[in-house]
Chain A
Amino acid sequence: MATMLEVNGLNHRYGSGESEHVAVRDLTFTVETGQLACIVGPSGCGKSTLLRCISGLIRPSDGEVRLHGDEVDGVPEDLAVVFQDYSRSLFPWLSVRQNVEFPLRWKKLSRAERRERAVEALEWVGLPGVGNKYPWQLSGGMQQRVSIARALARRPALLLMDEPFASVDAQTRFELEDLLRTVQVKHGSTILLVTHDIDESVYLGDRVLVLSKSPASIVADLPVELPAERDQIATRASSAFVSMRSEVAKLLHGSGTAGPVTAEGAPAAEDAPEAEQARADLTEADAAEQANTAGEPASKPH
Chain B
Amino acid sequence: MKDILRSLVDILGERGVSNAAEELWFYARDPGVLEAHFPDYVVAPETTEQVRQVVRLANEEKIPIVPMGNGMALTGLVIPLKGGIVMDMKRMNRILEVNEKARYAVVEGGTSQGALKAYLQDHHPQLRHSLPDAPPTTTIAANVSLHGQGRLTQQYGFNSDMVTGLEVVLPTGEVCKIGSPSLGPYWFSKGPTLPDLSGLFLGWLGTTGIFTKVGLKLYPNKKIRDVEIFVTDRVDLVPDIIYKLTHLEMLEDINAWFQPRPLMFKDNYHITMYFTGDTEEEVEFKRKMIWDSLEEFIVTKDGGFMGVGYMKPMLLEMPQRGIAAFADVPRGGGFEYSGPITLIEHYPDYALKVMELAEKYEVIYSSAARVVSGGHSMMFSISFAFNRADAAMMERVKKALDEATEFALEKGGIPWKPNYKEQRMTLEKLDPNTLKLLQMVKRNLDPNGIMNPGNWEVS
Report whether chain A binds chain B.
no
On B, residues with C-beta under 8 Å from A are none
On A, residues with C-beta under 8 Å from B are none
